[in-house]
Amino acid sequence: MEPAAALHFSRPASLLLLLSLCALVSAQVTVVGPTDPILAMVGENTTLRCCLSPEENAEDMEVRWFQSQFSPAVFVYKGGRERTEEQKEEYRGRTTFVSKDSRGSVALIIHNVTAEDNGIYQCYFQEGRSCNEAILHLVVAGALLHFALLLWHCVTLGKASLLNSSPLQTSTILFPGSPFRRDTLPMKRRFQGKILPPAQGPP
């Protein structure tokens, strides 16, 4: 008789299976998070909040925030303490856990937000075989601005190439009416197919 074939699951498939099992065993208690996107600026702090509904003591529960993969995670609280060994390297030293265990209300503060923090987060509770999660959407303004600048630069260079015009003279961009910082952002210039260093702006 041939040995039974081993089953192998990719990370997305295993995560989907885990969340499906959670839905089957945790119909009574749900995890609630903000329905609107959480807005944050690069360099500032932001808070990801979620809670159990109805309120329930979460002192002995595992609480986890993660993005596309379950582990390593953005933050893990398990066995009454933080589990830094299960935390992504880029979040170590940048997170603070705030908990009201008796009410099942928790929050994760992410310090010094970066553009890479932008995206979907899941706030996950587990106790024994019961588990549930809420989905949170963090929008980092710096990430949107970076995308807008990249798109503007590509369009500008594309027009210059099509028109075979003179090299791009302006090497900085300023947004006078923008809510973001009014810093001049250095851009590369093109001249006869070569990339030149950014021009020095006025002092």
User: What are 95-114's pLDDT values in tens digits?
Assistant: 999 998 788 999 999 999 99
Q: Between 112 and 155, where is the model more confident?
A: 112
Of the pLDDT bands very low, low, confident and very high (cuts 50, 70, 90), residue 41 is: very high
Report the share of the chain in percent with pLDDT over 70: 61
The answer to whether residue 22 scores a pLDDT higher than 70 is no
Single residue among 100, 115, 140 that ends a domain in this structure: 140
Regarding whether 97 and 26 lie in a shared domain, the answer is yes
- What's residue 146's pLDDT? 64
Burial class (CB in 10 A: 0-12, 13-18, 19+), 150: exposed
The answer to whether residue 94 scores a pLDDT higher than 60 is yes
Tens-digit pLDDT profile for residues 183-199: 434 433 333 444 445 55
| Domain boundaries, position 186 | 142-196
Regarding whether 155 and 122 lie in a shared domain, the answer is no
Of the pLDDT bands very low, low, confident and very high (cuts 50, 70, 90), residue 143 is: low
The mean pLDDT of the chain is 74
The answer to whether residue 164 scores a pLDDT higher than 70 is no
- What's residue 144's pLDDT? 65
Burial pattern 69-96, b for ≥16 Cβ within 10 A else e, equals ebebbbbbbeeeebbeeebbeebeebbe
| Residue spans of beta strands (DSSP E) within 54-182 | 62-66, 75-78, 81-82, 95-100, 105-110, 119-127, 130-140, 172-173
**Count of domains observed in the chain:** 2
**Which has the closest alpha carbon to 58: 114, 128, 117?**
128
Residues 6+ apart with CB under 8 A from 106: 49, 50, 51, 58, 63, 77, 97, 98, 99, 100, 123
Q: Which amino acid is at 52?
A: L
The answer to whether residue 67 scores a pLDDT higher than 50 is yes
Of the pLDDT bands very low, low, confident and very high (cuts 50, 70, 90), residue 82 is: very high
Regarding whether 79 and 146 lie in a shared domain, the answer is no
Has residue 147 been placed in a domain? yes
Regarding whether 121 and 22 lie in a shared domain, the answer is yes
Regarding whether 147 and 132 lie in a shared domain, the answer is no
What's the whole-number mean pLDDT along residues 125-146? 87
Regarding whether 111 and 35 lie in a shared domain, the answer is yes
What's the whole-number mean pLDDT along residues 58-75? 93
Single residue among 116, 140, 164 that ends a domain in this structure: 140
Regarding whether 134 and 94 lie in a shared domain, the answer is yes
Has residue 62 been placed in a domain? yes
The tokens of 182 are what? 């009014």
